[in-house]
Structure 1
Amino acid sequence: MGTLFKDALHERLGTWPLGYIPYGGPDYGEIEAVARAVGDGGDDSFHAAWTAAGARFAAEGEAALAKGHRASARELLLRAACCHGKSFHPLYGLPLDPRLVASYRLQIALFERALALCDDPVLPLRIPFEATAMPGYLVPAAGRATEVRPLLICTNGYDGQITDLYFASAVAASRRGYHCLIFDGPGQGRMLIEQGMPLRPEWEQVIGAVVDFSLALPQVDPSRIALNGWSLGGYLAPRAASGEHRLAACIADPGQADLADGFRAFAAKLGAGPEAAAASSLGDLDPALVDRMEAIIDNDRVLRWSVKQRGFWMNGVATMREYLREIERFSMQGRTGLIRCPTLFTLAEGDPLAAGTQAFFEQLRCPRQLVCFTREEGAEGHCEMLSRSLVNRRSLDWLDEVLGAA
């Protein structure tokens, strides 16, 4: 498939909804129309084009609802929520762009309006966590909302929104007969945008709070609670499973043991030498080398967005050295052997975040399975976004077998 968006960052961010087509996201032609509207424009044009599409879907949804077409209204409002959720990604970073906040809130309002129109209405949840509460939604098993069923908890990564979890994982799980709980943790969605709470590596604390909450839900089978993490969630989910032993299964898409590995390789290429880069803290690298690293990042639009706009903001840091120190905390060193539950790792051809997945998989001492995805299947790239139905089918088949949930 050729590119849809002319700008590399827009192509990366704007094509994610292609993976949502089987689950109620915008159709291919609708995404293509947004790309045409962006054209040669910059981030302002990207935001405006997605916002216009979202507004159109919302207006059509309200018109359908006024005529009594609840199913059409729900579909259109979900499309609208997806569009507004995509619109603000290039605007990431501090100080917060008012358009980001407004689009985030509109995304959630439309999402909740759509979920309220489901045959089994989905209501927002507040999951107690430390001195606050994490927002979430329990998407019930299709046609089995009141039955006691297995629960799949889905956890996001760096820049995903709660609507992404819905389209990418929750709809498929619901259709398969799982209740599915999606939520924002620290550094994600509302917790970051509205409360300013950054990411943390100790995800076992986060999932522990989610499991505590889930066990109080009458329709959840307490012996069959599984966790699925995608993107950065491919680190967060195994980290959680290493400390939260009430989980019956864990899925990591892709499995990641150490977020700093890529930067260690980067430092080695810039002259630190592989031994020095591996042995010393990245935060203690020679200032001249850190400056060179930062200059390369500044001159690459995608890297600058990934590290300095997204990474600094979500990790609660202001400098490159602080960022390097912070990401080193996201490591499974000394914890891999603590994972007890059956665990599935994905490994997609061409996904740079899966570079260490095979080695991480081989360190596991729990029941384990590695599922690879290839270009021939159309499933290469990060989180298999062009073949989400394929990764959902294989991972849920595995989960059916592990939990006896078929």
Structure 2
Amino acid sequence: MTRLFRDDLYEDFGTWPLAYIPYGGADYGEVRAVAAAVGEGDHGAYYDAWTTAGDRMTSEADAALAKGHETSARELYLRASVFYATSFHPLYGAPVDPRLLTAFRKQVEAFDKGLSLGPQPVRPVRIPFDATPMPAYVIPAQGLETAVRPLIIFNGGYDSTITDTYFASAVAASRRGYHSLLFDGPGQGAMLYEDGVRLRPDWETVIAAVVDHALTLPIIDPKRIALYGWSLGGHLAPRAASGEARIAALIADPGTWSIADGFRKALMHNFGLSPEAAADLGTLDQAVLDRADAFIRSSPQMNWKVVQRGFWVHGVSDLRAYFASAELYTMKGRAELIRCPTLITQAEGDILAADAGSFFDALCCPKTMIRFTAAECADGHCEMGNRSMLNRRILDWLDERFAT
């Protein structure tokens, strides 16, 4: 695929919307135009280019709606939400950048306006959870909006938003006849940006609340509820399924055994640590920790993933605390508790999927592994280069599990 953005970090973030083209989230030329506007610019230029495009689409949507073109308005509002959602990822970190909140609020407003239009309008809901309800949406099956159908609960990751999940997966699921439930949990989207609620390892507690809400919906078949986690959700969803018996099928894209193990392997490889010295990253020797910290901060991509995103999402302020928190996110002692049919994906070149094979081997439930390759342009994290292929294969698998 031809490179669009000159900066590696912007290329990572700015090409996400290309995966949403089959589902109406963008067109190639629009993304290319944003990349040209960014040019050699910095985070501010990147943010301005995306939000300017989002503002233009919102204005066009307003004008279309005023003239009675409801279908065009719906499409434009939803597409604008993608462009706002893509604008602020380089700004991640605590304290929250005001520009991030501005773009995120525009994103939510555009998304809500788009979903409110059409013959079957969708309204946002709030799922009761501790002191802070979780934002959520129920996206009905296309053409079967009032029918009792299976449900897929979509579980995002470290930095995906509900808008991302909608275009990456929920549109495809709706076309296939599945109702979808999208939500922000602790450490995700509005829960993090607006409410400051951090990520937590006991994800079964989160999903229990989501399933409780799902079972109040008259259009849901309570015996056919699937849980689908993507990105870090490929760890969170299995963790939840290990303690939530009402999940009838599980998808982990990719199957992620833990957060800490990837760092553990890197430290052993780069710094010559023994397995014993790296057994608990929260107790690393300070000299090693200092070297690791300097190494991470020297790379814009690693600095973003760990310092900007990881520290913020986990609610920590230094690498030792982050590593100690990361150690809590593991399927050790939990994988064998999963009882429902489970699908694990593994994409070539995705470092988060490195342990998917051993994760698969540890499962004691009915299980399936699907691998994706560079030859299919489905390599890399979450198969974003060929998301439609991923959706077809996953939904085919789920059709077979939920066949009546």
Residue 87 of structure 1: aligned partner: 87
Residue 367 of structure 1: aligned partner: 366
Give the deviation of 1:99 after TM superposition: 0.5
Alpha-carbon distance between aligned partners in 2 of 1:278 and 1:2, rounded to the nearest angstrom: 39
Give the deviation of 1:276 after TM superposition: 2.2
Q: Tell me the amino acid that sits aligned with residue 152 of structure 2.
A: L
Q: Is it true that 1:377 corresponds to 2:368 in the alignment?
A: no
Alpha-carbon distance between aligned partners in 1 of 2:257 and 2:98, rounded to the nearest angstrom: 35
Alpha-carbon distance between aligned partners in 2 of 1:60 and 1:285, rounded to the nearest angstrom: 54
Contact 1:147 1:219 in 2 (8 A): yes
Contact 1:4 1:35 in 2 (8 A): yes
Residue 357 of structure 2: aligned partner: 358
Contact 1:265 1:274 in 2 (8 A): no
Alpha-carbon distance between aligned partners in 2 of 1:226 and 1:384, rounded to the nearest angstrom: 20
Residue 16 of structure 2: aligned partner: 16
Cα deviation digits, residues 78-129 of structure 1 (max 9, x gap) = 1111100111110000111110011111100000000001321011011011
Give the deviation of 1:277 after TM superposition: 4.0
Give the deviation of 1:7 after TM superposition: 0.5
Q: Tell me the amino acid that sits aligned with residue 344 of structure 2.
A: F
What are the equivalent positions in structure 2 for 1:44-83 lying under 5 Å apart?
44-83=44-83
Residue 332 of structure 2: aligned partner: 333
Alpha-carbon distance between aligned partners in 2 of 1:184 and 1:278, rounded to the nearest angstrom: 33
Contact 1:267 1:273 in 2 (8 A): yes
Cα deviation digits, residues 179-229 of structure 1 (max 9, x gap) = 000000000011001110000111110000000010011000000000000
TM-score, with structure 1 as normaliser:
0.98
Residue 144 of structure 1: aligned partner: 144
Give the deviation of 1:278 after TM superposition: 4.3
Contact 1:24 1:167 in 2 (8 A): yes
Tell me which stretches of 4 or more aligned residues in structure 1 moved more than 4 Å: none
Give the deviation of 1:272 after TM superposition: 4.9
Residue 307 of structure 1: aligned partner: 306
Contact 1:151 1:225 in 2 (8 A): yes
Residue 160 of structure 2: aligned partner: 160
Alpha-carbon distance between aligned partners in 1 of 2:124 and 2:81, rounded to the nearest angstrom: 15
Residue 196 of structure 1: aligned partner: 196
Alpha-carbon distance between aligned partners in 2 of 1:16 and 1:107, rounded to the nearest angstrom: 16
Contact 2:141 2:176 in 1 (8 A): yes
Residue 321 of structure 2: aligned partner: 322
Q: Tell me the amino acid that sits aligned with residue 200 of structure 1.
A: R
Contact 2:186 2:197 in 1 (8 A): yes
Alpha-carbon distance between aligned partners in 1 of 2:271 and 2:126, rounded to the nearest angstrom: 48
Alpha-carbon distance between aligned partners in 2 of 1:250 and 1:274, rounded to the nearest angstrom: 35
Alpha-carbon distance between aligned partners in 1 of 2:84 and 2:19, rounded to the nearest angstrom: 16
- Unpaired segments of 5 or more residues in structure 1? none
Give the deviation of 1:131 after TM superposition: 2.1
Alpha-carbon distance between aligned partners in 1 of 2:29 and 2:202, rounded to the nearest angstrom: 41
Alpha-carbon distance between aligned partners in 2 of 1:267 and 1:352, rounded to the nearest angstrom: 14
Q: Tell me the amino acid that sits aligned with residue 14 of structure 1.
A: G
Contact 1:265 1:277 in 2 (8 A): no
Give the deviation of 1:159 after TM superposition: 0.5
Identity %: 58
Q: Tell me the amino acid that sits aligned with residue 288 of structure 2.
A: L
Alpha-carbon distance between aligned partners in 1 of 2:132 and 2:17, rounded to the nearest angstrom: 31
Alpha-carbon distance between aligned partners in 2 of 1:231 and 1:118, rounded to the nearest angstrom: 31
Q: Tell me the amino acid that sits aligned with residue 352 of structure 1.
A: I
Residue 29 of structure 1: aligned partner: 29
Alpha-carbon distance between aligned partners in 1 of 2:191 and 2:158, rounded to the nearest angstrom: 12
Alpha-carbon distance between aligned partners in 1 of 2:377 and 2:272, rounded to the nearest angstrom: 37
Q: Is it true that 1:386 corresponds to 2:385 in the alignment?
A: yes
> How many residues are treated as equivalent by the alignment?
404
Alpha-carbon distance between aligned partners in 2 of 1:271 and 1:166, rounded to the nearest angstrom: 41
Residue 179 of structure 2: aligned partner: 179
Contact 2:267 2:278 in 1 (8 A): no
Q: Is it true that 1:252 corresponds to 2:272 in the alignment?
A: no
Q: Tell me the amino acid that sits aligned with residue 208 of structure 2.
A: G
Alpha-carbon distance between aligned partners in 2 of 1:381 and 1:275, rounded to the nearest angstrom: 28
Contact 1:248 1:342 in 2 (8 A): yes
Alpha-carbon distance between aligned partners in 1 of 2:139 and 2:127, rounded to the nearest angstrom: 15
What are the equivalent positions in structure 2 for 1:279-294 lying under 5 Å apart?
279=279, 281-294=280-293
Alpha-carbon distance between aligned partners in 1 of 2:55 and 2:288, rounded to the nearest angstrom: 47
Alpha-carbon distance between aligned partners in 2 of 1:299 and 1:330, rounded to the nearest angstrom: 26
Alpha-carbon distance between aligned partners in 2 of 1:18 and 1:277, rounded to the nearest angstrom: 42
Alpha-carbon distance between aligned partners in 1 of 2:145 and 2:278, rounded to the nearest angstrom: 50
Residue 39 of structure 1: aligned partner: 39
TM-score, with structure 2 as normaliser:
0.99
Alpha-carbon distance between aligned partners in 1 of 2:47 and 2:339, rounded to the nearest angstrom: 44
Alpha-carbon distance between aligned partners in 1 of 2:277 and 2:350, rounded to the nearest angstrom: 23
Residue 225 of structure 1: aligned partner: 225
- Unpaired segments of 5 or more residues in structure 2? none
Alpha-carbon distance between aligned partners in 2 of 1:65 and 1:131, rounded to the nearest angstrom: 37
DSSP 3-state at the match of 1:107? helix
Contact 1:272 1:289 in 2 (8 A): no
Residue 131 of structure 2: aligned partner: 131
Residue 207 of structure 2: aligned partner: 207
Going from structure 1 to structure 2, the CA distance change for 1:229 and 1:359 (only over 3 Å counts) comes to: same
Q: Tell me the amino acid that sits aligned with residue 396 of structure 1.
A: L
Contact 1:228 1:251 in 2 (8 A): yes
How big is the alpha-carbon RMSD for the aligned residues of Structure 1 and Structure 2?
0.9
Cα deviation digits, residues 314-368 of structure 1 (max 9, x gap) = 0000011000000110001101100000000111111111100011001111000
Alpha-carbon distance between aligned partners in 1 of 2:271 and 2:299, rounded to the nearest angstrom: 20
